[in-house]
Amino acid sequence: MSTYKAPVDDIRFVLFDVLHADAAFQRLGFTDATRDILDAVMDEGARFCETVLAPLNAVGDQAGCTLDKASGQVTTPPGFKEAYAEYAAGGWAGLSSPTAFGGQGLPHAAGVPIKEMIDAANLSWGNFPLLSHGATEALLHHGEDWQREAFLKPLVEGRWTGTMCLTEPHCGSDLGLLKTRAEPRDDGSYAITGTKIFITAGEHDFTDNIVHLVLARLPGAPAGSKGISLFVVPKVQVDRQGAMGEANAVRCASLEHKMGIHGSATCVLNFDGAQGHLVGQPHKGLMGMFTMMNSARLAVGLQGLGLSDRALQNALRYSRERLQMRALSGPREPDKAADPIIVHPDVRRMLMTCKALVEGGRAMAYHSALLLDEAHGDVDDEAARQSADALLGFMTPIVKACLTEWSVECTYHALQCFGGHGYIAEHGMEQLARDARITTLYEGTTGIQALDLLGRKVIQLQGAGLKVMLAMIESFCAGHAGDERLAPFVAPLAEKAAEWQRLTTGVAKAAAGNADEIGAAAFDYLMYSGYVALAYWWARSVAAADASPQPESFKQDKRDTARFYFARILPRAGMHAAAIESGLASLPELGGA
């Protein structure tokens, strides 16, 4: 069975030494987010995840969720419901939600470490409260006053949970094809009719109500995505005063049988004239849904990070204990029958790859959460707010796609370290590999993220966020130009930043002649962007380590990992650059029936 230990030391290093988040929180008006408070939150979050959630990870995988088809009720794995009750009682559901609705009012970046810990400890369980945050954000920014009063308080307090209902059997990411109908009722509500699939936590036994945010079409709505509206449809009807009434006409028809995340209820929901309420303006539903989706995309990136870290922890422990063969250079532990496998360079290659992607990815992800606070915090500098928002939009698909693609790689490497023992269920590594695979798919596949990054954030928005990122790199390189300790990182980083700009210009020119050039370059452009962004964060981490009060062994560990990243992983960017430059011509159309 795999185990989990929350990496609180490295989390604190990223938050406070690299990002100086505690000072940023005070500047942004989060006066309660002091270092003492944040430390206490992380310590208690670590305790909850290590002792309550982590032991249930294998339980959820083995038991799964069950559906009583007669009642439409879902029973979650043993211990899951009780863990959620403790989670809600501890105030975790509203950690970064407004105090006006019962939340703790902490910044988003303060909640991110807890989210990472939850996902590492028990990804399936973490899916149940996952979309409550997105539903809260959608109602907060797009809902009517009575909707905020009726729905936000129980969501923030954890008494109810939320979902996001987009996908239908005939349409996945192409929401313009959806058919769910919303018919006006005399009382101002709407009758919602249709079928939604792949609905995470669409039905469960944690709470007595579930708040579904549903996309549907009004009568006479324009065709395509311009005719989509957003509705709040609770499992149990709720009046304008927030009182619960009769059961709504929404029912779980089946549970999906999945490759992984068996402990998470992934539902087919049938809406049969269910009472719903319009959120926002008619035909403008995608605005509210993208508020949820962008929040969820960052959250799924954290899922990938958490899984990678847990896989690394277990592979590192096993590699130090497992005796197998002798080191090629001679016995390292001659008093034993064989050497531990960590002496073998290829095992260290796999472990160091995971370590570099996890620790660098943590800085990249946490910075994006801080950008969310900077874009919406209590500051008067509108230029700074717009800059943060542009960079956040640019980084969101990178964080989502790269951290999840890397989670597939890291869980593979970790399983490989176990050899055949990794393939059997006993050590829990195959569960991590199975669970990781979904993270590249839901909330938009890697291909969808790539098109969003290159097609919208770069081409359509004229690279507003990229310009901010390149300016950050230029400023860092200029500020450390004479620092000998950072010389191995600054020069390669500056070169890659220049290449990044050149590649972007080349794709934009090619796309002006043929828009398919965007699709041809998108995946490689996204991965290239992720590797260069991670190089920046590793260079920043080394600089922060040099100036931090951490022990010298900790600092040296960061320098060594950064050198490994620049020497062995950053060169992957060159492969992606070559693929980008090969253009559409290198992708022949596949003939045949």
Taking only the tens place, the pLDDT of each residue in 388-437 is: 999 999 999 999 999 999 999 999 999 999 999 999 999 999 999 999 99
Query: Which positions are annotated as active-site residues?
Result: 443
Tracing tokens 């945010």 back to the chain, one arrives at 213
**CA atoms lying within 13 Å on the CB side of residue 206:** 33
Cα 246 → chain centroid = 35
E-strand ranges in 209-358 read 210-216, 229-234, 236-238, 244-247, 250-255, 266-279
Task: Supply the pLDDT for residue 592.
Answer: 63
What gap in Å lies between CA 235 and CA 410, rounded to an integer?
38
- Report the alpha-carbon distance of residue 163 to residue 292 in Å, rounded: 10
Interhelix angle 429-439/382-417, rounded to 10 degrees, is 140
Residue 451 pLDDT: 98
Which helix (H) or strand (E) covers residue 300, if one does?
helix 285-321
Q: Would you state the structure tokens that stand for residue 488, as one six-digit string? A: 């191995």
CB 350 within 8 A of CB 558: no
User: Token digits for 93?
Assistant: 């559901």
Phi, psi of 540 (to 5 degrees): -60, -40
| Cross-strand bridge partners of residue 276 | 190
Looking at residue 593, its pLDDT comes to 56
What's the farthest any 2 CA atoms get from each other in the chain? 84
Residues 6+ apart with CB under 8 A from 520: 583, 584, 586, 587
Tell which residue, 572, 468, 576, 460, has the closest CA to residue 518: 460
Q: How far is CA 104 from CA 114, 118, 154, 182, 367, in A?
A: 14, 18, 14, 35, 21
Measuring CA to CA, which residue among 230, 219, 242, 244 is closest to residue 276? 230
Pairwise CA distance, residues 51 & 48, whole Å: 6
Q: Are 394 and 468 in contact (CB under 8 A)?
A: yes
pLDDT at 258: 97
pLDDT at res. 205: 98
Residue numbers of the chain with a pLDDT score lower than 70:
378, 592-593
Angle at 426 between CA 342 and CA 406, to 5 degrees: 55
Helices 35-48 and 108-121, axial angle in degrees (round to 10):
20
Angstrom distance (rounded) from CA 500 to CA 105: 38
SS3 231: strand
Amino acid at 362: R
Structure-token pair, residue 426: 């006993």
Reported pTM: 0.97
d(CA 13, CA 543): 12
588: CB partners within 8 A, 6+ apart = none
36, exposed or middle or buried, with CB in 10 Å at 0-12, 13-18, 19+? exposed
Check if the beta carbon of residue 5 is closer than 8 Å to that of residue 49.
no
User: What does the alpha-carbon distance between residue 564 and residue 246 come to, in Å, rounded to a whole number?
Assistant: 60
Residue 306: which of 76, 54, 134 has the closest Cα?
54
* Rounded to 5°, angle at Cα 539 from 534 and 543: 145
Distance CA 128, CA 309 (A): 21
Question: What is the three-state SS of 423-453?
Answer: HCHHHCHHHHHHHHHHHCCCCCCHHHHHHHH
Burial of 417 (0-12, 13-18, 19+ CB in 10 A): buried
pLDDT on residue 320: 97
Query: Do 524 and 579 contact (CB within 8 A), yes or no?
Result: yes
Do 229 and 285 touch, CB atoms closer than 8 A? yes
